[in-house]
Amino acid sequence: MYGYKPITLQSEASYIENLCDRIEASLDAGYMPVDAFQDDRVFRAEMERIFTRSWVFVAHETELPRSGDFVSRRIGLDQVIVTRTSDGAFNVLLNHCRHRGTPVCMEDAGNSTHFRCPYHGWTYKNNGDFVGAPELSMAYGERPDRKIWGLIRAPRVESVYGFIFACLSEDGPDLKAYLGGAGWMFDAIFGLHPDGLRVLAPPERFIIRADWKSGAENFSGDSYHVGTAHYSATLSGFAAGDLRNNGDKADGFLFENGHSFIGHRFPEWFGPEFEFWGYPPELREQFDLSRLDDVQLHMLKTVPPTIGTIFPNFSFVRFPSAASPGEAPSAYTDVRVWQPLEPGVMEMWHWQLEYAFMPEEYQRTSYIAGQFGFGAGGMIEEDDTVLWEGIARFARSPLARRDAIPLHYKQKRSDPDPDWKGPGQHFTTTYGEYMQEGFWRRWVKDIRGADGGGSHNG
């Protein structure tokens, strides 16, 4: 009925290839095949072709302030330990003992110079080197080579503004090249003070029965849902203004590699005091803007970036909101990871940060404002998560699959801003879904494995 052929039994590889064909043809026509949002074969392909090749956010450096600190995280389905060693380096180690594969670390976070496997006692330094094992000479005669039998390390680990990203592939661009124009956006969002940002509390996490891409795609450019899904924030006085009809009060910033951001024209929308996200003037004065170019400065004054996604599963939000109805809004900064667990199920990880130089009182207020919005029980968070769960259910619908019923990706398009002097493309509206399209086109490119082998190029 929509020009699609129903899906029939096929081999897994040809199903994936066919799906990529259908997504590309659908995007050209303004549709999306629903099975992209939940399918066992899709999930396996994503784990193998996206998460073992992409730069994935694992921790912020301020979560590991001391030598020996560690946190447990995941890259796709791989459990990893992020450690800080005495030389100050950050290591990302696969949390599986080399003897039989048992996790060597069962804690979410802590401080330790070594990890001792609970099964037979093989022991590793916190840089991953094998140290020894019980009954070494009796059981083995010679000590296993400490370099060969160490914990598997992510071959590449890099930080930007304290955000630690790891890549499980040796090939492909470095983090700076991977971020591309989105790195310019990081400068404007996270690079405003030499003391940097700090994480305000350990990350929250909770399970959502929705596909990880529903969150990543939403944050990549869906300003359209805000006026409906989050209208209660307007009615309750939580939002600093009326959230309806905001697609034309928002700009889109589309970069290479599937990264994109929304900016909201707060001064025009909420009032002139909302330049720079509405940070109070006495705090704004302490920003060091000397490294920003004119385009970035103009953006922060007129349309500060509010929401964005770094492909595949790292997202950002900074919004001014009241810590309680009637109070003056505070700008809160929230980063999140849409952690895939299984087809149609993700674990949402949520961190709140603030500039370290800001007074404790402001950090506390911004934390509370962020919790009301995007905390595990936050009103914005709860609005979104229940809606995304419905998408995964639709993707499993036998009827939708039998008839290959597509989703609508066909908003009215507008041309990119011809006068834009910054990197990437700039749009003066978020209607058009071009940023969501950017996310999906990158997804197809990775799933097709066009770069071959373990490489991952932009």
Interface with ligand FES (CB under 6 A): 97, 99-100, 102, 117, 119-122
CA distances (Å), origin 412, targets 21, 135, 218, 247, 433: 23, 70, 18, 12, 9
Strand order, beta sheet including 163-167 = 55-60, 163-167, 156-160
**CA angle 432-175-294, nearest 5°?**
60
**CA angle 33-34-38, nearest 5°?**
125
Which C-beta is closer to Fe ion: that of 217 or that of 384?
384
When CB distances are held under 5 to 8 angstroms depending on the partner's kind, the choice from Fe ion, ligand FES, none that residue 384 binds is Fe ion
When CB distances are held under 5 to 8 angstroms depending on the partner's kind, the choice from ligand FES, Fe ion, none that residue 404 binds is none
When CB distances are held under 5 to 8 angstroms depending on the partner's kind, the choice from Fe ion, ligand FES, none that residue 250 binds is none
Which C-beta is closer to ligand FES: that of 128 or that of 183?
128
Which C-beta is closer to Fe ion: that of 39 or that of 384?
384
Q: Where are the alpha helices (DSSP H) in 59-158?
A: 136-140
CA distances (Å), origin 311, targets 47, 153, 306, 384: 14, 22, 17, 20
Strand positions, DSSP E, 139-183: 156-160, 163-167
Shortest gap between Cβ of 130 and ligand FES (angstroms)? 11
Which C-beta is closer to ligand FES: that of 133 or that of 392?
133
Shortest gap between Cβ of 309 and Fe ion (angstroms)? 13
Shortest gap between Cβ of 311 and Fe ion (angstroms)? 19
Which C-beta is closer to ligand FES: that of 25 or that of 106?
106
Shortest gap between Cβ of 159 and ligand FES (angstroms)? 30
What residue ranges bind Fe ion (CB under 5 A)?
A: 384
Rounded Cα distance between 350 and 374, Å, is 8
Which C-beta is closer to Fe ion: that of 15 or that of 238?
238
Strand order, beta sheet including 123-125 = 114-116, 123-125, 130-132
Q: At 173, list the tokens.
A: 């661009």
When CB distances are held under 5 to 8 angstroms depending on the partner's kind, the choice from Fe ion, ligand FES, none that residue 97 binds is ligand FES
Residue with nearest beta carbon to Fe ion? 384
When CB distances are held under 5 to 8 angstroms depending on the partner's kind, the choice from ligand FES, Fe ion, none that residue 117 binds is ligand FES
Shortest gap between Cβ of 218 and Fe ion (angstroms)? 6
Percent composition of the chain: helix, strand, coil (DSSP 3-state, to 5): 35, 25, 40
CA distances (Å), origin 4, targets 22, 36, 113, 401: 8, 14, 57, 11
Rounded Cα distance between 269 and 239, Å, is 12
Shortest gap between Cβ of 133 and ligand FES (angstroms)? 7
Which C-beta is closer to ligand FES: that of 122 or that of 186?
122
Shortest gap between Cβ of 105 and ligand FES (angstroms)? 12
